[in-house]
Amino acid sequence: MLDYLVSPTLKDVLINARYALAHVIRMRYIVDQKDNSILLIIRNLFGFGKVTLRSGTDGVYRYTATGFKSMNHVISYFKLFPLFTKKAGSLEK
């Protein structure tokens, strides 16, 4: 299972400045795979997020979890089951 969780990025922070009074900051956790069944397993493992077919691709699916509460769960998971690849450094940043 961890092999599929290695490829995501946790550094995806979006800042939206279109609001007049303040910026909106959203954190996203994204995993792309050709096989959506793996992404459905990941969604069920975390208990949140969505799996969609990416437009403009040849059958590439994306698991997306958005929000600070979701990221706390994702980070807790990776602290409990640490990565042993260079992606482990992304989690610490």
Is the pLDDT at 6 greater than 80? The verdict is: no
Q: Amino acid identity of 32?
A: D
Interatomic CA distance for residues 34 and 7, integer angstroms: 13
91 belongs to a structural domain: no
Q: Is the pLDDT of residue 58 over 70?
A: yes
Domain of residue 16 covers 2-86
Q: Is the per-residue pLDDT at 4 higher than 50? A: no
Of residues 24 and 27, more confidence is placed in 27
Least confident of 11-20, 48-57, 80-89: 11-20
Number of structural domains (the chain) is 1
Note the pTM of the prediction, 2 decimals.
0.71
Q: Tell which residue, 10, 14, 7, 2, has the closest CA to residue 61.
A: 7
- The first and second tokens of residue 93, run together, are 């940043």
Check which CATH number belongs to the domain holding 10 and give it: 3.10.28.10
What pLDDT sits at residue 54? 94
